[in-house]
Amino acid sequence: MKKIKLFLSDIDGVMTDGGMYYTENGDELKKFNTRDGMGFQLIREAGIKTGIITSEDTQLVKRRAEKLKVDFLHQGKRDGGKLDVTKMICEELGIGLSEVSYVGDDLNCIPLLKAVGYAACPADAMRGVLALEGIHVLSKKGGEGCVREWVEFLLDDISLIASTRAQITD
């Protein structure tokens, strides 16, 4: 197993519960889970690049991405656009799709989920995503810390691999 070099996530339905909240004045609100924020910090501290790719295009998401200090933010990416932008990022970083992890939950995430080396989805992802071969279905729903759950799983896996390699070379 190669080391993950890029960690990507969707927003709505993954980092949020998928709800769209509007005030009387038309302001849009989203509820984010702080545990996911810590997940981004942990994976960044492990030396892995991070990013958000979403079909939404809002200042709210831009502000969240800035707070999380992600390396890449791409908004307004629908259908195959998520995969296309990931290929561009991979080219920029000099890595392959097999070294990418992505957490997505809906139909427009499927092409990217199928292409990456490490794919995961929240427990309440759409049926087409849940049915993907090789997908890691998390125990948490979107907005409940599923990104953090996936990060901890990946970091534990990376630690196991590193310690196993160290034992082999000793």
pLDDT value, residue 18: 93
CB atoms within 10 A of CB 99: 18
Low pLDDT (below 50) residues in the chain? 1, 160-161, 164-165, 168
Judge whether 148 and 39 are in contact, CB under 8 Å.
yes
Q: Which SS3 state, helix, strand or coil, does residue 86 take?
A: helix
**Cα–Cα dist 100/39, whole Å:** 16
pLDDT value, residue 56: 87
Judge whether 33 and 15 are in contact, CB under 8 Å.
yes
User: Is the CATH number of domain 6-169 3.40.50.1000?
Assistant: yes
pLDDT value, residue 6: 98
**Cα–Cα dist 77/121, whole Å:** 18
pTM of the shown model: 0.89
Q: What ranges do the domains of the chain cover?
A: 6-169
- 45-77 residue pLDDT tens: 999 999 999 988 889 999 999 999 999 999 987
- Taken in order 29, 35, 36, 42, the sign of the CA dihedral is positive
